[in-house]
Amino acid sequence: MWTTDTIIFLLGILLLAGVVSAKFSNRFNLPSLVLFIAVGMIMNRFIYFDNTKLTQLFGILALIVILFEGGMQTRWKQMRPVVGAAVSLATFGVVVTALVFGLCAAYILDISWKEGLLIGAIVGSTDAAAVFAVMGSQRVKRKLSSTLEAESGTNDPMALFLTVSFIEWIQGPDANLFSMFLSFLWEMGFGLVFGLGVGWLAIQIVNRIHLDTSGLYPVLSIGLAIVTYSGAAMLHGSGFLAVYVMALVLGNADLQYRFTISRFNEGFAWMMQILMFILLGLLVFPGELVEVMWQAILLSLILMLIARPLGVAVSLLFGRFSLREQTLIAWAGLKGAVPIVLATYPMIAGLEQGQLFFNVIFFIVLTSALVQGATISPLARRLGLAGDPSAEISQGLELVSVGKTNLNMVKKSIEPGTCVENCTLQQLELPEDTLITAIVRGEKMLAPRGHTRLQAGDVAYVLVAKKNLDTVRSMFTEPAREGCCSDRKREADAEVP
């Protein structure tokens, strides 16, 4: 009989094992999810666990957190040029991949074509957790990494819709395909609109509500993400799409306590990812994987070398992507938690082959993570698509306002073509009770002085009275024009530190 203390102790051990696994995954250039799952499979020898409903619930909660964190970190200006390609990959790409793979799976596994299409739907999407993690550590050109991240954040709803629809079709052969299509349009459309609306509302709440401690703002943001998912889902919209869109809107807004929220979300997403993959590993019995090993290996090769590349080729047929870029996008279609979580749906629905589907999909995910995840960076270099080694640096300066004060600390980026670019601080007409306290330039932090000239790419931390927030925000976003800086005598030889 497990006591409360024993369960808490095991939970701590699992978290520690996950952290150590992440350290080793970086050293050996392996996706961390592989080692997390391995920890769960090892623990399976000592802990019996077969609760698929609990796994599904925790998996959905973890995916909400991961999608929210990924959306918050995605910059719209980087995503905007590739949003059309990402949406095409998330829809047509998933359908083509599911169709090609599903028909092959039906033949290889000797199951009905409907069941084959169900497996295809489950593995048709890329995984947000895997892609966000791998793209964050691999050097790939920004255009491609933005496309892959946007695709992974938006194709989960498509895979979920197809999975649920095929299960209903298998259980009720008279299902109306036209009504399914209308349902799809409603789910995607409502999820998009709902996410945009809640995202705007979330900005107003976070920026206007005054909590006693800054530590409550990350909790508030996670609560908003969960409410966004559940609200959209209860109204038969796509909860996952709503969460990602809401996070995208929130993350690209001028947000107070952004650094506090981001750091909390990053740590919380890692914790949920560790526990989710370990829990999924606990659900697998290694002996059953051996029984489907050869079929799963063959299906993995079909997915990586035929189905996914065809899906990418069809999706990007009219896109501005070269053959080399399409090759890398096809190879970087990583599978992860989403297919495994979706594989619990047939089991919970009571389908006769549910356990077989789960085992095959689990093996495919492991193969995808091991083979594709570890070779993305070498392939990018071989194709001449490796990114700049100097990745964007996250400032390690925590500047937050003290509760119940009339001052706020805001972080403002100096964008090219704005009015403040190339102005010295003494030439800025800052409002009363406003002070630039620090400037981050590259890897250096500068002590602001009157002759310090702002350059594109700088990050300025501004202490400003709450009544002047809108004035300061507009000052840093105003387009360049004649006479941007004040008419004070410019020092032509102003020193740039």
Contact by Cβ (8 Å): 94, 127 = no
48-62, 112-126, 398-412 — which one is most confidently predicted on average?
Answer: 112-126
Residue 159: Cβ-neighbour burial (10 angstroms; 0-12, 13-18, 19+): buried
**495: pLDDT confidence band, cut at 50, 70 and 90?**
very low
At 306 the pLDDT is: 94
Measure the CA–CA gap between 337 and 152, rounded to whole angstroms.
12
pLDDT in tens, 432-480: 888 888 899 887 888 888 888 998 888 888 888 878 888 888 888 888 8
CA distance 432 to 378: 54
- Give the residue extent of every domain in the chain: 10-382, 407-477
Residues 6+ apart with CB under 8 A from 331: 304, 372, 375, 376, 379
Residues 6+ positions from 96 with CB-CB distance below 8 Å? 307, 310, 311, 314, 315
CA 426 to chain centre: 41
DSSP-assigned states of every residue in 446-458: EPP-TTPBP-TT-
CA distance 461 to 455: 14
Amino acid letter, 215: G
Task: Choose between 230 and 180: higher pLDDT.
Answer: 230
Q: Which amino acid is at 470?
A: D
Q: What does the pLDDT look like over 104-119, one tens digit per residue?
A: 999 999 999 989 999 9
Average per-residue pLDDT for the chain: 83
Six-digit token string for 463: 């202490």
More confident residue, 4 or 491: 4
Q: Which helix (H) or strand (E) holds 460?
A: strand 459-465
Report pLDDT for 233: 92
Instruction: Give pLDDT, residue 457.
Output: 87
pLDDT digits 0-9 by tens, 133-161: 666 555 667 788 888 888 887 888 888 88
Q: Please give the model's pTM, rounded to 2 decimal places.
A: 0.78
Question: Which CATH fold would you assign to the domain 407-477?
Answer: Alpha-Beta Plaits (3.30.70)
Torsion, Cα 448 261 146 34, to 10 degrees, reads: 130
pLDDT bucket at 490, cuts 50 / 70 / 90: very low
Strand order in the sheet with 459-465: 407-413, 459-465, 434-441, 444-446
Helix, strand or coil for residue 109? helix
| Residues 64 and 153 sit within 8 Å (Cβ to Cβ) | no
Kindly state the percentage of the chain with pLDDT values over 90.
22
Phi, psi dihedrals of residue 405, rounded to the nearest 5°: -120, 160
**Residue 453 DSSP code:** B
Q: Residue 393: what pLDDT?
A: 46
Is it the case that residue 322 has pLDDT exceeding 60? yes
- Report which of 90, 91, 127, 96 is spatially closest to residue 310, judged by C-alpha positions: 96
Contact 299, 108 (CB under 8 A): yes
Q: How far apart are CA 280 and CA 430, in angstroms?
A: 54
pLDDT at 281 over 90: no
What span, in angstroms and rounded, lies between the C-alpha atoms of 50 and 37?
A: 15
What is the spatial distance between Cα 319 and Cα 85, in angstroms, rounded to a whole number? Answer: 7
pLDDT(176) > 80: no
38 vs 218, more confident: 218
Comparing C-alpha atoms, which of 157, 156, 142, 159 is closest to residue 80? 142
Q: Does the pLDDT of residue 404 top 70, yes or no? A: no
Q: What is the pLDDT of residue 197?
A: 95
| pLDDT given for residue 129 in this prediction | 64
For the domain made up of 10-382, the CATH class stated in words is mainly alpha
